[in-house]
Structure 1
Amino acid sequence: MNWYVVYTKPKWEKKVAERLNEAGIIAYCPLITKVHQWSDRKKKVEVPLFNSYIFVQVEEKERNVVFSIPGAIRYLFWLGKPAIVKEKEIQAIQNWLDIPDTFEIMVDKWQKGDKIVLESGPFVAQSAVVQEVKHNHYILVLESLGCVLKVEKKIKI
């Protein structure tokens, strides 16, 4: 079965994913924990990693079942067809969210334009192109995932 991207009403991502799972449809809403501050307090809350998007795994012929759930608006399309997300890309997101907040990446002598394969961290085995080299960070483009990654340099004394 393929993974598809479903566009939801704003702030309905968790509700739609929960209701789809209750209906027997595999749905995944990646969540991150953020600290929100109100005028009188701070609180940790789980918010979706992607605003207004969730991932569903359904057979192509059963794609319309998703719309029986309130809050599901439409599928994300790419080149006139529903966008399909690969299983390894879903796994990469899950692995990235499962690791601790801090980890150490050792890098040295990368230059703009270098093509590399990441050896550690949440995007292990992903190929990337070095887009920018600064004193304290690198900007990497992960073409297979369609995202940009900023890697902070750690200076050891």
Structure 2
Amino acid sequence: MNWYVVYTKPKWEKKVAERLNEIGIITYCPLISKVSQWSDRKKKIQVPLFNSYIFVQVEERERNVIFDIPGVIRYLFWLGKPAIVKEKEIQIIKNWLSMPDTFQVVVDKWQKGDKIVLESGPFLAQSAIVQDIKQNHYVLVLESLGCILKVEKKIQ
């Protein structure tokens, strides 16, 4: 079964994932902890990592079942077809979210354009290209995931 990306109404990610689970569809809604400030208190809450997106694992022939759930808008498309996310990429997100809040990255004089393999942290063993070097951080492009990573320089 393939993983697909479903676009939901804003702030409906957790509700949609819960309702889809109730009807037997496997979902993944990655959550992160965030401290919210109200006028009288602070509270740690769980918010979706991707606003208005969840991942669903369904058979190709059963894809339209999700539209029975309130809050589902559409599938995310790529090149005219529903975007498919690899199991490996879902696992990378899960591993990344299960890592501690801080981790150590050791940097050995990277140069702009260098192709590197990350040796620690949530993106362990992922290849990246050094896109930019700033005073206190590096900007890396993770081609396999199609995202940009900012890595702080460790001052020793």
The question of a shared fold, defined as TM-score above 0.5 by the shorter chain, is answered with yes
Q: Which amino acid aligns with 2:26?
A: I
Distance 2:124 2:100 in 1: 15
Shift of 1:62: 0.6
1:66-85 maps to which residues of 2 (within 5 A)? 66-85=66-85
Instruction: Look up the match of 1:119.
Output: 119
Alpha-carbon displacement from aligned partner over 1:77-105 (angstroms, at most 9, x marks no partner)? 00000000011110010000001101111
Unpaired runs of at least 5, structure 1: none
Distance 1:34 1:49 in 2: 10
Residue 34 (str. 1) matches residue 34 (str. 2):
yes
Identity %: 84
Instruction: Look up the match of 1:16.
Output: 16
Shift of 1:136: 1.3
Alpha-carbon displacement from aligned partner over 1:51-98 (angstroms, at most 9, x marks no partner)? 000000011111001111111110000000000001111001000000
Give the total of aligned pairs.
Answer: 156
1:75-114 maps to which residues of 2 (within 5 A)? 75-114=75-114
Alpha-carbon displacement from aligned partner over 1:92-141 (angstroms, at most 9, x marks no partner)? 10000001101111011101001111121111111111001122110000
Q: TM-score, normalised by structure 1?
A: 0.97
The CA RMSD over aligned residues, in Å, is: 0.7
Distance 1:155 1:66 in 2: 49
1:141-156 maps to which residues of 2 (within 5 A)? 141-156=141-156
Instruction: Look up the match of 2:53.
Output: 53
Runs of 4+ in 1 over 2 A off after TM superposition: none
DSSP 3-state at the match of 1:35: strand
Distance 1:129 1:19 in 2: 40
